[in-house]
A and B are shown apart, each in its own frame.
Chain A
Amino acid sequence: QSQLQESGPRLSKPSETLSLTCTVPGDSFTTIGFYWGWIRQPPGRGLEWIGILHDDGRPAYSPSLKSRVTISVDTSRTRLSLKLSSVTAADTATYYCAGFDNFDYAVEKWGQGILVTVSS
C-alpha cells in the first residue's frame, strides 16, 4: 500500500509545463525526519533523482534539471507539487513522489508512480 499518492495529467505536450501533485491520504507533509521530493524513471530505464525540499523549505534540484524544475509544498503542507517546464519527449517517465530520510537520504516512502507521456 503506497503511502504517497501522485496525481496530474498523464499527457503533456512538448514545450509545455508538466505539473504533478502528491498527497498523503489522511496525513500531511509534516512527518518529522523526512524530506519530500520527486524521482522519475523513463520507460525501461533507471531511477533519476529530480529534487527535494529540505525541512527549512530550501530546495535541492538535480543539476541536469535545475533550470526547469520547481518543487514546492502548499501552506497547509498537504500537497507537494512538481513543475517541470519546457518538456520534451525525453521527459516521458514514471514520476514518483518520495520521502527521504533526513539523515542519510534513503528513500523510505514511495508513491505508486504516475506515467507521464510527452507527445504532441
Chain B
Amino acid sequence: QSVLTQPPSVSAAPGQRVIVSCSGSSSNIGNNYVSWYQQFPGTAPKVLIYENHKRPSGTPDRLSGSKSGTSATLVITGLQTGDEADYYCGTWDSSLSAMVFGGGTKLTVL
C-alpha cells in the first residue's frame, strides 16, 4: 500500500493526451515538492519533472506537471509509442521524515 495513490494504468491513442494523477495528503504533497519519473522495462527510472512542474533538460515540453492541494498531475500530450512506460510520482513526507512514491502507473499507447 503506497502512501501516494496513482491509477494502476492509463491508456490513449497516439497523438492524444493522457493524465496521470497522484494523490496524497498535507504531510506529503500538500507541503512538499513533487517529482515524476519514467521507467522503461529493465532500466532505471529517470526524472521527468521536479519541483512540481519544472522540466530537466531532455524532458520534452509536451510533458507537464502541476500540483493543487494534496494532488499532483502529470500530463502528456501528443502521445507517442515511445511514451509507453511506467510513471511514478514521489515527494517528501514530513510526518514520516521519509521520501514516498506512488505505486506507479503503466501507460499504454493504443
Contacts and interface: CB of A to CB of B under 8 A. Distances in A.
Interface of A: 2, 46-49, 51-52, 60-63, 96, 100-101, 103-108, 110-113
Secondary structure of the B side of the interface? Answer: strand
Interface of B: 2, 32-33, 35, 37, 44-47, 50-51, 56, 88, 90-92, 96-104
B50 A2 contact: no
Which of B2, B90, B91, B103 has the most CB atoms of chain A within a 10 A radius of its CB?
B90
Which of A2, A105, A106 has the most CB atoms of chain B within a 10 A radius of its CB?
A106
B98 A61 contact: yes
Contacts, number: 66
Contacts of B97: 60
Contacts of A111: 44
A4 to B, nearest CB: 9
B97 to A, nearest CB: 6
Contact of A104 (B2, B44, B51): B51
Contact of A108 (B56, B91, B92, B96): B56
Given A46-B102, A104-B51, 5 more contacts: A46-B2, A46-B101, A51-B98, A104-B32, A107-B47
Contacts of B45: 47, 96, 107, 110
Contacts of A62: 98
B86 to A, nearest CB: 8
Contact of A105 (B37, B46, B91, B104): B91
Given A106-B47, A107-B47, A112-B44, A60 B32 contact: no
Given A63-B96, A104-B50, A110-B45, A48 B35 contact: no
